Structures are given as structure tokens and as C-alpha cells.
Amino acid sequence: MSQMSQMSGPPPYTRDERRALTVRVVVPVLLGVVAVAVMACTAVMGYAGFDTSRGSPDTTSSTTRVTKVVDGDTIEVRVQGRTERVRLIGIDTPETKDPRKPVQCFGKEASARTAELLPPGTAVRLVRDVEERDSYDRLLAYVYRSSDGLFVNLELAQGGYADLLTYPPNVAHTGELRAAVDEARREQRGLWQACGGAGKPA
């Protein structure tokens, strides 16, 4: 055998052979990556109990139900066998529970309004924004009442029970929440009339 023959190696793959190799090796790898991604997304949605549509919730049914109203902008829900604390995104009602702050003007009224809108057992849809949780491990959500699609965050802002509170990047509804707060202030609803503004002591 000549030195040329020894160095030449096996003949190159034909086009059909290359195609078959791609199918046998590359396609299974790609399918595996897709499967892992789908499982990860499913796990996140299942754990949080979230609708990830960011503003277009399906309000026909829900397995997420309110168990407790903590204060005007914080509730507890039962979802898939777990109790989760939920902070309503984009609004800030007067404080009633924060040990670092005194009870603020209109705080009890705001808590009572949220309890009126979301009594225990109420089915809700939680719609997330960019971030799933805050630094206190509370779920961050736009809360919709499943029975009629009521956007609870917006309802509290419109009624004068809450000021605007924006934490980027969670800003999907900032424009309409700001408009609702501005209207409540102009019309002197709720805390704007009773307290002369947000954050005042009781």
C-alpha cells in the first residue's frame, strides 16, 4: 500500500449519508432542548399559579381562591394546595400592618374595600408582570376577580383607596393605574378627600 493511500483516510460522506447523520444526531438533541424548556415553563406557571398573558386574563374559571385579606394591597390565596401571599402590583394603599410605620389615614377603609371585593373563597386570576416575586417572597400580580373579570388593582386606584406605586420592570399597567389615581385625586375620592393625600398618619 502506498504512503498516499495510507494518508487519504476514509472517503468523504455522500450527501445522503450526511443527511442521515444529521437526523440521527442533531434532531434528537434539539428535541431534548425543547422538551426541557417546556417542562421548565410548565413548572414555573404551575408553582406560581400565574396566567402569564400580562393583561389579558382568562376569567372563565380559576382554581386560585382568596383565603385572607392582609391589608388593602396584600392578600393570601390558596393555589394548588399551597397558601401564597400576593402583593398587588402598581398600587400602594395606606399602611395598617407594617410594624415599622404607624397606621396611616384611610388604611382601615382600604383594607375593608379589598375585603369587600375579595371575600374569602373568591376565585381570582393572578396575572404576572416581569418579576414573579418581591424581596419578601410575595407573588407580584395583577388580580382579576374570576366571576366578572374585575381588575382589582385598578378598582382600588379609581375609588381613591390607593396611590400609584411603580417598581420597574413591572410596568405593564402603569399608564391606566396612573390615570385612575389622577382622576380619584381630582374628584377628591377616598383618601384624597379624607386625608388630603397619601401616606398621612391616621
- Phi–psi pair at 14, nearest 5 degrees: -75, 170
Mean pLDDT of 109-133: 97
**Residue 138 is a catalytic residue:** yes
Domain boundaries, the chain: 14-48, 65-194
Task: Report the percentage of the chain scoring pLDDT > 70.
Answer: 70
What pLDDT does 4 receive?
47
Q: Is the pLDDT of residue 114 over 80?
A: yes
Q: Is the pLDDT of residue 68 over 80?
A: yes
The strand pair at 91-92 and 50-51 is best described as unpaired
User: All 3 cell numbers of residue 122?
Assistant: 373568591
Within 10 angstroms of residue 19's Cβ, the number of other Cβ atoms is: 11
Residue scoring higher pLDDT (170 or 38): 170
The architecture in CATH of the region 65-194 reads Beta Barrel (2.40)
Residue scoring higher pLDDT (22 or 124): 124
What pLDDT does 23 receive?
53
What pLDDT does 184 receive?
98
Decide: residue 168, CB within 10 A, 0-12 exposed, 13-18 middle, 19+ buried: exposed
Mean pLDDT of 150-169: 97
SS3 117: helix
Q: Which residues are registered as beta bridge partners of 145?
A: 124
Catalytic residue among 84, 95, 109, 155: 95
Q: Which of 103, 63, 99 is nearest to 84 (CA)?
A: 63
Residue scoring higher pLDDT (202 or 89): 89
Mean pLDDT of 15-39: 55
What pLDDT does 50 receive?
62
The pLDDT confidence band at residue 54, using thresholds 50, 70 and 90, is low
Is 195:175 a contact under the CB 8 Å cutoff?
no
Catalytic residue among 109, 138, 145, 155: 138
pTM: 0.72
Question: Could you report the per-residue pLDDT of 124-138, keeping only the tens digit for each?
Answer: 999 999 999 999 999
What pLDDT does 99 receive?
77
Within 10 angstroms of residue 158's Cβ, the number of other Cβ atoms is: 20
The whole-chain average pLDDT of the chain stands at 82
Mean pLDDT of 88-99: 91
- Alpha carbon distances (Å) from 107 to 30, 120, 197, 202: 54, 20, 12, 8
Highest mean pLDDT among 10-19, 50-59, 67-76: 67-76
- Alpha carbon distances (Å) from 5 to 2, 8, 11, 51: 5, 5, 11, 65
